[in-house]
């Protein structure tokens, strides 16, 4: 019953074994050369400025969340646009169009609310 999946299982076991073997060998055979430079934090080739515990404005997080929210929701429209003709051919085109219109309306209302609250003012 599950015999067609045995080659895939063997492949996973071999891949995991290869990874574990290489990590183990590098730990055993590799030279340890600790230095101050290796212990420092590395951030884009720039030296560290300030503390990692510095306080950021809540506006930074709101902008990030808004970007993710509208980006992901706009990406949900792409598969619908690709499949729109097949929905119409199946006879459910009007229903699906109404659902997508409601989805876009909720997006528009959310964007209008954020705009009214000043969430898109980048200079704050």
pTM for this prediction:
0.49
Domain that holds residue 101: 58-117
With a cut of 90, say whether residue 17 has pLDDT above it: yes
Compute the C-alpha angle 82/102/106, nearest 5°. 110
pLDDT tens sequence across 86-112? 887 778 878 888 888 898 898 889 888
Does residue 93 fall inside a structural domain?
yes
Does residue 123 fall inside a structural domain?
no
Does residue 71 fall inside a structural domain?
yes
- Residue 104, CA distances (Å) to 97, 100, 101, 111, 115 in order: 10, 6, 5, 10, 16
Does residue 4 fall inside a structural domain?
no
Does residue 122 fall inside a structural domain?
no
Number of compact structural domains in the chain? 1
Does residue 83 fall inside a structural domain?
yes
| Residue 43, φ and ψ in degrees, nearest 5 | -135, 95
């Amino acid at each position: 019953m599950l015999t067609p999946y045995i080659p895939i299982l063997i492949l996973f076991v071999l891949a995991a074994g290869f990874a574990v073997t290489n990590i183990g060998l590098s730990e055993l055979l590799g030279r340890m050369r600790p230095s101050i430079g290796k212990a420092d934090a590395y951030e884009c080739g720039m030296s560290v400025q300030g503390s990692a515990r510095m306080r950021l404005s809540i506006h930074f997080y709101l902008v990030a969340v808004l970007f993710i929210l509208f980006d992901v929701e706009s990406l949900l429209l792409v598969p619908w646009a690709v499949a729109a003709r097949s929905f119409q051919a199946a006879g459910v085109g009007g229903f699906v169009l109404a659902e997508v219109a409601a989805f876009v309306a909720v997006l528009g209302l959310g964007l209008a609310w954020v705009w009214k609250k000043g969430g898109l003012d980048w200079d704050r």
